[in-house]
Amino acid sequence: MVFSGQVFHPMASLSSKVPVLTCGGLAKRFLVPGWRVGWIFVHDPIGVMNQIKTGIVNLSQLIIGANSLIQAALPDILATPTSFHQDTMRKLEENAQLSAKLLADIPGLTVIPAQGAMYLLVRFSSSLCPLLPLICFFS
Partner 1 sequence: MSSITNHLNSYKANGYGPSIGLLSAREALATHYSTTDAPITTKDIFITSGCSDALNISIGVLANEGQNILIPRPGFSLYETLASSKGIDCKFYNLLPENKWQADLNHIESLIDSNTSAILVNNPRFLFFVIFRILILSNSSY
Q: How far is the CB of 125 from partner 1 (least distance, A)?
A: 13
**Closest residue by Cα to residue 26 from 78, 87, 99, 89:** 78
Which CB, 127 or 131, lies closer to partner 1? 127
Q: Are 40 and 53 in contact (CB under 8 A)?
A: no
Cβ burial, residue 26 (10 Å; 0-12/13-18/19+):
buried
100 is a contact residue toward partner 1 (CB under 8 A): no
Which CB, 74 or 129, lies closer to partner 1? 74
Size of residue set near partner 1 by CB under 8 A: 66
Which CB, 122 or 129, lies closer to partner 1? 122
